[in-house]
Structure 1
Amino acid sequence: MLILRRIWVPLVLVLALSVAGCGGEESEESGLDEVFVEPTAEPDLLPTEEDLRDRFEGTVTDPFDLLVETCFNQYTYLDRNDLPAQLTTAIGCNRPHNGQVYAILIHNAPAGAPYPGEEAVNGWGQDQCLEQFEPFVGLEYVKSELEIGMIIPSRSDWEGEDNRRGISCFVHSWRGLLIVGTMKDIAL
Protein backbone atom coordinates (compact mmCIF):
# COMPACT_ATOMS: atom_id res chain seq x y z
CA MET A 1 0.00 0.00 0.00
CA LEU A 2 1.33 3.45 -0.87
CA ILE A 3 0.46 6.69 0.83
CA LEU A 4 1.16 10.07 -0.69
CA ARG A 5 2.42 13.03 1.31
CA ARG A 6 2.14 16.62 0.24
CA ILE A 7 5.60 16.25 -1.28
CA TRP A 8 4.71 12.87 -2.84
CA VAL A 9 7.00 10.83 -0.60
CA PRO A 10 5.66 7.28 -0.11
CA LEU A 11 5.02 6.45 3.52
CA VAL A 12 3.62 3.45 5.32
CA LEU A 13 0.10 3.99 6.63
CA VAL A 14 0.05 4.01 10.43
CA LEU A 15 -2.64 1.56 11.35
CA ALA A 16 -4.80 1.51 14.44
CA LEU A 17 -5.26 -1.77 16.28
CA SER A 18 -8.44 -0.59 17.96
CA VAL A 19 -10.67 2.43 17.63
CA ALA A 20 -11.37 5.24 20.03
CA GLY A 21 -14.82 6.61 20.67
CA CYS A 22 -15.80 9.96 19.19
CA GLY A 23 -16.09 12.69 21.77
CA GLY A 24 -14.40 15.56 23.46
CA GLU A 25 -14.95 19.28 23.22
CA GLU A 26 -15.84 20.80 19.88
CA SER A 27 -12.99 22.68 18.25
CA GLU A 28 -13.58 26.42 17.91
CA GLU A 29 -11.44 26.52 14.77
CA SER A 30 -13.29 24.17 12.42
CA GLY A 31 -15.13 21.37 14.21
CA LEU A 32 -12.55 18.81 13.07
CA ASP A 33 -13.10 16.90 16.34
CA GLU A 34 -16.29 15.50 14.82
CA VAL A 35 -14.38 14.06 11.85
CA PHE A 36 -10.99 13.03 13.24
CA VAL A 37 -10.34 11.00 16.40
CA GLU A 38 -7.13 9.88 18.04
CA PRO A 39 -6.29 6.18 17.64
CA THR A 40 -5.55 4.29 20.82
CA ALA A 41 -1.88 3.81 21.62
CA GLU A 42 -0.24 0.97 19.73
CA PRO A 43 1.44 -1.72 21.80
CA ASP A 44 5.23 -2.02 21.80
CA LEU A 45 5.00 -5.38 20.06
CA LEU A 46 2.80 -6.25 17.12
CA PRO A 47 0.16 -8.91 17.79
CA THR A 48 0.06 -12.20 15.96
CA GLU A 49 -2.81 -12.95 13.60
CA GLU A 50 -4.40 -15.11 16.30
CA ASP A 51 -4.18 -12.28 18.88
CA LEU A 52 -5.56 -9.79 16.36
CA ARG A 53 -8.78 -11.71 15.67
CA ASP A 54 -10.35 -10.47 18.90
CA ARG A 55 -9.33 -6.85 18.27
CA PHE A 56 -10.36 -5.96 14.75
CA GLU A 57 -13.64 -4.36 13.69
CA GLY A 58 -15.40 -4.96 10.41
CA THR A 59 -15.48 -7.70 7.81
CA VAL A 60 -12.13 -9.10 6.69
CA THR A 61 -11.65 -8.44 2.98
CA ASP A 62 -9.00 -8.40 0.29
CA PRO A 63 -7.90 -4.75 -0.15
CA PHE A 64 -8.47 -5.11 -3.90
CA ASP A 65 -12.12 -6.02 -3.23
CA LEU A 66 -12.95 -2.70 -1.54
CA LEU A 67 -15.54 -0.73 -3.51
CA VAL A 68 -15.81 3.02 -4.06
CA GLU A 69 -17.12 4.79 -0.93
CA THR A 70 -16.20 1.80 1.28
CA CYS A 71 -14.60 2.72 4.58
CA PHE A 72 -11.92 0.40 5.92
CA ASN A 73 -9.39 -0.32 8.64
CA GLN A 74 -6.03 -1.95 8.29
CA TYR A 75 -4.23 -3.82 11.03
CA THR A 76 -0.57 -4.81 11.10
CA TYR A 77 0.47 -8.04 12.81
CA LEU A 78 3.29 -10.58 12.80
CA ASP A 79 2.72 -13.63 10.63
CA ARG A 80 3.90 -17.17 11.43
CA ASN A 81 7.40 -16.25 10.26
CA ASP A 82 7.44 -13.14 12.50
CA LEU A 83 7.20 -10.88 9.46
CA PRO A 84 4.87 -7.85 9.38
CA ALA A 85 1.61 -8.58 7.54
CA GLN A 86 -1.65 -6.66 7.09
CA LEU A 87 -5.32 -7.43 7.54
CA THR A 88 -7.95 -5.20 5.92
CA THR A 89 -11.55 -4.91 7.12
CA ALA A 90 -14.48 -3.12 5.53
CA ILE A 91 -16.36 -1.13 8.17
CA GLY A 92 -19.34 1.21 8.30
CA CYS A 93 -18.29 4.82 7.78
CA ASN A 94 -20.05 5.87 11.00
CA ARG A 95 -17.36 3.97 12.98
CA PRO A 96 -13.80 5.35 13.31
CA HIS A 97 -11.73 4.08 10.38
CA ASN A 98 -8.37 4.47 8.65
CA GLY A 99 -9.56 5.38 5.16
CA GLN A 100 -12.30 5.54 2.55
CA VAL A 101 -11.96 4.47 -1.09
CA TYR A 102 -12.99 7.25 -3.46
CA ALA A 103 -11.93 5.93 -6.87
CA ILE A 104 -10.87 2.68 -8.50
CA LEU A 105 -8.88 3.09 -11.69
CA ILE A 106 -7.61 0.54 -14.17
CA HIS A 107 -4.04 1.18 -15.32
CA ASN A 108 -3.91 2.14 -18.98
CA ALA A 109 -1.27 -0.46 -19.96
CA PRO A 110 -2.53 -2.75 -22.75
CA ALA A 111 -3.73 -6.23 -21.81
CA GLY A 112 -0.78 -8.61 -21.50
CA ALA A 113 1.75 -5.78 -21.12
CA PRO A 114 4.59 -6.57 -18.71
CA TYR A 115 4.68 -4.93 -15.30
CA PRO A 116 5.96 -1.38 -15.91
CA GLY A 117 7.65 -1.17 -12.50
CA GLU A 118 6.60 0.19 -9.13
CA GLU A 119 7.73 3.75 -9.90
CA ALA A 120 5.69 3.90 -13.12
CA VAL A 121 2.58 2.41 -11.50
CA ASN A 122 2.92 4.80 -8.53
CA GLY A 123 3.37 7.82 -10.79
CA TRP A 124 0.37 6.97 -12.94
CA GLY A 125 -1.72 6.27 -9.83
CA GLN A 126 -0.68 9.53 -8.12
CA ASP A 127 -1.73 11.58 -11.14
CA GLN A 128 -5.06 9.80 -11.49
CA CYS A 129 -5.88 9.81 -7.76
CA LEU A 130 -5.09 13.52 -7.51
CA GLU A 131 -7.43 14.20 -10.44
CA GLN A 132 -10.27 12.26 -8.76
CA PHE A 133 -9.80 13.80 -5.29
CA GLU A 134 -11.69 17.09 -5.63
CA PRO A 135 -14.78 15.58 -7.33
CA PHE A 136 -15.17 13.18 -4.37
CA VAL A 137 -14.18 15.38 -1.41
CA GLY A 138 -15.50 18.68 -2.81
CA LEU A 139 -12.30 20.63 -2.14
CA GLU A 140 -8.92 20.97 -3.82
CA TYR A 141 -6.31 18.59 -2.47
CA VAL A 142 -3.89 21.36 -1.48
CA LYS A 143 -6.57 22.97 0.73
CA SER A 144 -7.81 19.73 2.27
CA GLU A 145 -7.22 18.25 5.72
CA LEU A 146 -7.24 14.83 4.02
CA GLU A 147 -4.41 12.89 2.44
CA ILE A 148 -4.40 10.64 -0.61
CA GLY A 149 -3.41 7.00 -0.33
CA MET A 150 -3.33 4.19 -2.88
CA ILE A 151 -3.69 0.45 -2.97
CA ILE A 152 -1.59 -0.58 -5.94
CA PRO A 153 -0.86 -3.89 -7.60
CA SER A 154 2.55 -5.45 -7.02
CA ARG A 155 4.42 -7.21 -9.78
CA SER A 156 2.95 -10.55 -8.65
CA ASP A 157 -0.58 -9.04 -8.62
CA TRP A 158 -0.03 -7.63 -12.13
CA GLU A 159 1.44 -10.81 -13.59
CA GLY A 160 -0.63 -13.29 -11.54
CA GLU A 161 -3.65 -15.19 -12.76
CA ASP A 162 -5.95 -12.31 -11.70
CA ASN A 163 -3.94 -9.78 -13.78
CA ARG A 164 -4.75 -7.02 -11.32
CA ARG A 165 -4.36 -3.60 -12.91
CA GLY A 166 -6.69 -1.71 -10.55
CA ILE A 167 -5.47 1.11 -8.34
CA SER A 168 -7.72 2.10 -5.44
CA CYS A 169 -7.48 5.72 -4.35
CA PHE A 170 -8.45 6.44 -0.76
CA VAL A 171 -8.55 9.37 1.63
CA HIS A 172 -7.16 9.31 5.15
CA SER A 173 -6.00 11.80 7.76
CA TRP A 174 -2.50 13.10 7.11
CA ARG A 175 -2.12 13.57 10.88
CA GLY A 176 -2.43 9.85 11.64
CA LEU A 177 -5.91 10.20 13.10
CA LEU A 178 -8.91 8.01 12.44
CA ILE A 179 -11.83 9.34 10.37
CA VAL A 180 -15.47 9.27 11.43
CA GLY A 181 -18.16 9.54 8.74
CA THR A 182 -18.00 9.58 4.97
CA MET A 183 -15.65 12.01 3.28
CA LYS A 184 -17.82 12.31 0.15
CA ASP A 185 -18.61 15.99 -0.46
CA ILE A 186 -17.27 16.97 2.98
CA ALA A 187 -15.21 19.87 1.56
CA LEU A 188 -12.68 19.42 4.33
Structure 2
Amino acid sequence: MNRPARTALTLAALVGLTGTLAACGGDVLALEVGDCVNQSDLQDTEVSSVTTLECSEPHDAEIFGAVTHDDGDFPGEDEVKSEAQEGCITRFEEFVGVPYVESEIYFSTLSPSEQSWNQADDRTSLCIILAEEKMTGSLEGANR
Protein backbone atom coordinates (compact mmCIF):
# COMPACT_ATOMS: atom_id res chain seq x y z
CA MET A 1 0.00 0.00 0.00
CA ASN A 2 1.31 3.46 -0.88
CA ARG A 3 0.17 6.02 1.73
CA PRO A 4 0.93 9.58 0.67
CA ALA A 5 1.84 12.22 3.18
CA ARG A 6 -0.65 15.01 3.65
CA THR A 7 -0.22 18.30 1.85
CA ALA A 8 3.36 19.54 1.70
CA LEU A 9 4.02 23.12 2.73
CA THR A 10 6.60 25.61 1.49
CA LEU A 11 8.71 27.96 3.54
CA ALA A 12 8.11 31.59 2.71
CA ALA A 13 10.90 33.98 1.90
CA LEU A 14 12.69 34.78 5.13
CA VAL A 15 15.36 37.31 4.26
CA GLY A 16 16.64 39.23 7.26
CA LEU A 17 15.09 37.11 9.99
CA THR A 18 17.28 36.29 12.96
CA GLY A 19 16.22 32.71 13.63
CA THR A 20 15.21 33.54 17.19
CA LEU A 21 11.93 32.17 18.48
CA ALA A 22 9.72 34.50 20.46
CA ALA A 23 7.05 33.48 22.91
CA CYS A 24 4.24 34.62 20.60
CA GLY A 25 5.74 33.27 17.40
CA GLY A 26 9.04 32.68 15.72
CA ASP A 27 11.04 32.19 12.61
CA VAL A 28 10.13 28.93 10.92
CA LEU A 29 13.82 28.42 10.06
CA ALA A 30 14.51 27.98 13.78
CA LEU A 31 12.22 24.94 14.12
CA GLU A 32 14.00 21.77 15.22
CA VAL A 33 13.26 18.09 15.63
CA GLY A 34 11.33 17.69 18.87
CA ASP A 35 9.47 21.00 18.63
CA CYS A 36 5.71 20.85 19.08
CA VAL A 37 3.36 23.22 17.24
CA ASN A 38 -0.23 23.51 16.12
CA GLN A 39 -1.42 22.71 12.61
CA SER A 40 -3.26 26.04 12.50
CA ASP A 41 0.16 27.73 12.24
CA LEU A 42 1.00 25.56 9.22
CA GLN A 43 -2.15 25.95 7.12
CA ASP A 44 -0.91 28.53 4.63
CA THR A 45 0.86 27.32 1.50
CA GLU A 46 3.81 29.48 2.58
CA VAL A 47 4.76 29.61 6.24
CA SER A 48 7.19 32.15 7.67
CA SER A 49 6.50 32.08 11.41
CA VAL A 50 5.12 29.56 13.85
CA THR A 51 4.55 29.40 17.59
CA THR A 52 6.40 26.57 19.32
CA LEU A 53 4.91 24.96 22.40
CA GLU A 54 6.23 22.78 25.16
CA CYS A 55 5.22 19.25 24.17
CA SER A 56 3.56 18.93 27.59
CA GLU A 57 1.06 21.59 26.40
CA PRO A 58 -1.83 20.62 24.10
CA HIS A 59 -0.69 20.55 20.46
CA ASP A 60 -1.53 18.67 17.27
CA ALA A 61 1.76 18.64 15.34
CA GLU A 62 5.33 17.61 16.15
CA ILE A 63 8.60 17.97 14.23
CA PHE A 64 9.98 14.43 14.03
CA GLY A 65 12.68 14.69 11.42
CA ALA A 66 14.70 16.91 9.13
CA VAL A 67 15.90 16.21 5.59
CA THR A 68 18.93 18.17 4.39
CA HIS A 69 19.02 18.84 0.65
CA ASP A 70 22.23 19.07 -1.34
CA ASP A 71 23.74 22.49 -1.94
CA GLY A 72 23.56 23.98 -5.40
CA ASP A 73 20.86 25.52 -7.51
CA PHE A 74 17.24 25.07 -6.45
CA PRO A 75 16.24 21.72 -8.01
CA GLY A 76 12.58 22.65 -8.33
CA GLU A 77 9.61 22.38 -6.01
CA ASP A 78 8.65 18.86 -7.11
CA GLU A 79 12.17 17.50 -6.53
CA VAL A 80 12.47 19.13 -3.10
CA LYS A 81 9.07 17.79 -2.03
CA SER A 82 9.89 14.31 -3.37
CA GLU A 83 13.22 14.19 -1.50
CA ALA A 84 11.50 15.46 1.64
CA GLN A 85 8.74 12.86 1.50
CA GLU A 86 11.18 9.98 0.91
CA GLY A 87 13.41 11.13 3.78
CA CYS A 88 10.48 11.65 6.11
CA ILE A 89 9.07 8.18 5.43
CA THR A 90 12.39 6.69 6.59
CA ARG A 91 12.53 8.95 9.65
CA PHE A 92 8.88 8.20 10.47
CA GLU A 93 9.56 4.55 11.27
CA GLU A 94 12.63 5.48 13.33
CA PHE A 95 10.55 7.98 15.35
CA VAL A 96 7.12 6.32 15.65
CA GLY A 97 8.30 2.71 15.68
CA VAL A 98 6.24 1.29 12.81
CA PRO A 99 6.50 1.76 9.04
CA TYR A 100 4.47 4.65 7.70
CA VAL A 101 2.36 2.37 5.49
CA GLU A 102 1.23 0.47 8.62
CA SER A 103 0.64 3.52 10.81
CA GLU A 104 -2.58 5.32 11.62
CA ILE A 105 -0.60 8.56 11.98
CA TYR A 106 -0.08 10.99 9.10
CA PHE A 107 2.70 13.45 8.41
CA SER A 108 3.38 16.44 6.24
CA THR A 109 6.54 18.21 5.16
CA LEU A 110 7.62 21.82 5.37
CA SER A 111 10.12 22.49 2.58
CA PRO A 112 12.14 25.45 1.29
CA SER A 113 10.70 27.63 -1.42
CA GLU A 114 12.97 28.76 -4.24
CA GLN A 115 13.10 32.15 -2.57
CA SER A 116 14.14 30.84 0.87
CA TRP A 117 16.62 28.47 -0.83
CA ASN A 118 18.29 31.32 -2.70
CA GLN A 119 17.97 34.17 -0.21
CA ALA A 120 18.15 32.45 3.19
CA ASP A 121 20.39 29.51 2.16
CA ASP A 122 17.65 27.17 3.40
CA ARG A 123 18.33 23.52 2.56
CA THR A 124 16.19 21.74 5.16
CA SER A 125 12.76 20.16 4.88
CA LEU A 126 11.01 19.34 8.13
CA CYS A 127 8.94 16.23 8.79
CA ILE A 128 5.82 16.99 10.83
CA ILE A 129 3.52 14.46 12.50
CA LEU A 130 -0.11 15.55 12.32
CA ALA A 131 -2.44 14.43 15.12
CA GLU A 132 -6.19 14.30 14.61
CA GLU A 133 -6.80 15.70 18.09
CA LYS A 134 -4.83 17.82 20.52
CA MET A 135 -2.38 15.77 22.55
CA THR A 136 0.17 16.27 25.28
CA GLY A 137 3.56 14.62 25.13
CA SER A 138 5.29 13.15 22.11
CA LEU A 139 4.38 10.46 19.59
CA GLU A 140 7.96 9.19 19.67
CA GLY A 141 7.78 5.42 20.08
CA ALA A 142 3.96 5.42 19.81
CA ASN A 143 4.10 2.18 17.73
CA ARG A 144 0.80 2.93 16.01
Name the one with the larger helix percent: 2
Say what the alpha-carbon RMSD is for the aligned residues: 2.4
Q: Which runs of 5+ in 2 are unaligned?
A: 10-22
Identity across aligned pairs (percent)? 26
Q: Residue 56 of structure 2: which of 86, 91, 94 is its match? A: 94
Is the 8 Å Cα contact of residues 8 and 109 (structure 2) preserved in structure 1?
no
Correspondence 1:1-188 to 2 at 5 A? 6-8=3-5, 10=7, 59-75=24-40, 87-108=49-70, 111=71, 113-160=72-119, 162-173=120-131, 176-188=132-144
What is the rounded CA distance, in whole Å, between the counterparts of 1:168 and 1:64 in structure 2?
10
What SS does structure 2 have at the residue aligned with 1:69? coil
Say whether the 8 Å CA contact 1:74–1:88 is kept in structure 2. Answer: no
Report SS of the residue matched to 2:106. strand
SS for the counterpart of 1:91 is coil
Query: Which letter does structure 1 place at the counterpart of 2:52?
Result: A
What is the number of equivalent residue pairs in this alignment?
126
Give, in whole Å, the separation in 1 of the partners of 2:6 and 2:37.
23
Unaligned runs of 5+ in 1: 13-57, 77-83
- TM-score in terms of structure 2 length: 0.75
Contact 2:77–2:113 under 8 Å retained in 1: yes
Change (3 A) 1:9 1:70: closer
Return the index of the structure with the highest Cα Rg. 1
| Larger RCO, structure (CA 8 Å, separation 6 or more) | 2
Runs (4+) of structure 1 moved beyond 3 Å? 84-87
Cα-to-partner distance string for 1:53-90 (whole Å, 9 max, x where unaligned): xxxxx6412222111111112546xxxxxxx9775111
